[in-house]
Structure 1
Amino acid sequence: MPTGVALRDVREQLFDAAERVLLREGQNALTSRAVTAEAGVAKGVLHRHFADFDTFLADLVRDRIRRVEHQATALRESAGTGTVERNLGDALTTLFCSVAVAIVGLVTARDTLRAMLRGSGVNGVPVLAEAADMVAAYLGAERDLGRIAPDADVDTLAMMVIGTGHLLFAGRRPGTAPEAEEIRTVVRALLIGVAR
């Protein structure tokens, strides 16, 4: 590896490399060596920025949680525009065509990682829990606008949307999505009786 080359935002470079390895080869192939090779940096770079590989993975998960929080803002701002069905379908595609499905498997498979995340206040299933909060906030905003029934239980609906979305996307080739109409059909079925 060349030395003396400045790395722009090395943490993000390493996170993106880890995501590519995770999506392409799965969580068993995710090692510090695989990440640094994918990022095109020397092996020691990761350990200069993180105490150990589990700390790196915990920070990766937290970073991806922050991405969901940014997506939540955009989804909430879409309330009152387009259709609820399309907005939720687009949100599911954005969420699950990213690394979200792979993160769930990673956290499930690594006890140390799961313990580190819980110790830092990350509860539930990382990324999916935040996604359910995102959908609940959006549905709440749509309820306030009268596009969702006033008595709709948006928290339960959000869990149904995220759980069903996870099932739709899990097991597919990374980066691929169900057809938009298939996603909207499922969302439409979940919203029967509450969408206006």
Structure 2
Amino acid sequence: MPTGVALRDPKDLLFAAAERVLLRDGPTGLTSRAVTAEAGCAKGVLHRYFADFDAFLAELVRGRAEQVTARSALLLEVAGLGSPVVHLTGALFDLFDPVAVGIVGLIIFRDELRVRLRETWPRGVPILAEGRAMIVGYLGAERARGRIAADADLETIALMLIGSAHLLFAGAGVDAPPSRAEVREVVAAALAGAGSTDSGSAFG
């Protein structure tokens, strides 16, 4: 009989469980049995919705990539306002949250998953590729407003920021992320080379 309590989508429960396992046990500990045990359901539940475990993981990656695309729209809304250094610093913290860093590590670790993802992403690492596109789009919007030099190489700047930020966040670990000052310093240096006069120092 109805209880008035909405039941969560089993797929959402499985994805949430996978994220917890990934954060706790790393890529080597992320197995279908570990995920279903964490979600508190039978192993067959996962295979009811996905052809195999790599199909499940690919969908997990796609969902995270879509979040980055949504974040890109928010970043474009603040183009021309405030400090580009501060905006990009915040975007990088959102991009490289612990789950995203773990998923990037999972993609690198798991050959079968990379093969599956090539169907959607022929080039680049998902999440990192979306992050690069996010930064290029934002810098392009700032350049159109005269806040970035017209001849700035936006692709190179974006790659520098993504690579540097990934090293900072992946090296720091889940419990000790880099400080905002560390990330802001990297962003300010990259934008200084792009002809931006914004150091971000006045924005905390």
Match of residue 196 from structure 2: 195
Instruction: Give the drift of 1:7.
Output: 4.2
Instruction: Give the drift of 1:40.
Output: 2.4
Q: 1:28 to 1:53 in 2, by over 3 A?
A: same
CA distance in 1, matches of 2:6, 2:51: 21
CA distance in 1, matches of 2:159, 2:126: 14
CA distance in 1, matches of 2:144, 2:99: 32
CA distance in 1, matches of 2:78, 2:62: 25
Match of residue 179 from structure 2: 179
Local SS of the residue matching 1:99: helix
Aligned residue pairs total 192
Local SS of the residue matching 2:123: coil
CA distance in 1, matches of 2:33, 2:122: 27
CA distance in 2, matches of 1:129, 1:120: 12
Q: What is the percent sequence identity of the aligned residues?
A: 57
Local SS of the residue matching 1:152: coil
Instruction: Give the drift of 1:171.
Output: 2.2
Residue pair 1:27, 1:102 contacting (<8 A) in 2 also: yes
Find out whether 1:90 has 2:90 as its counterpart: yes
Moved more, 90-99 or 114-123: 114-123
Instruction: Give the drift of 1:100.
Output: 2.0
Local SS of the residue matching 2:171: coil
Instruction: Give the drift of 1:129.
Output: 0.8
Local SS of the residue matching 1:191: helix
**Residue type matched to 2:102 in 1?**
A
Residue pair 1:100, 1:128 contacting (<8 A) in 2 also: no
Q: 1:191 to 1:124 in 2, by over 3 A?
A: same
CA distance in 1, matches of 2:147, 2:51: 48
Match of residue 140 from structure 1: 140
Return the TM-score normalized by structure 2.
Answer: 0.88
Specify every segment of 5 or more residues in structure 1 that has no aligned partner in the other structure, as ranges.
none
Return the TM-score normalized by structure 1.
Answer: 0.91
Q: 1:115 to 1:165 in 2, by over 3 A?
A: same
Instruction: Write out the 4+ residue segments of structure 1 that deviate beyond 6 Å after TM superposition.
Output: none
CA distance in 2, matches of 1:175, 1:7: 32
Specify every segment of 5 or more residues in structure 2 that has no aligned partner in the other structure, as ranges.
198-204
Q: 1:132 to 1:147 in 2, by over 3 A?
A: same
**Residue type matched to 1:47 in 2?**
H
CA distance in 1, matches of 2:115, 2:168: 28
Residue pair 1:97, 1:175 contacting (<8 A) in 2 also: no
Match of residue 111 from structure 1: 111
Matches within 5 A, 1:38-187: 38-174=38-174, 176-187=176-187
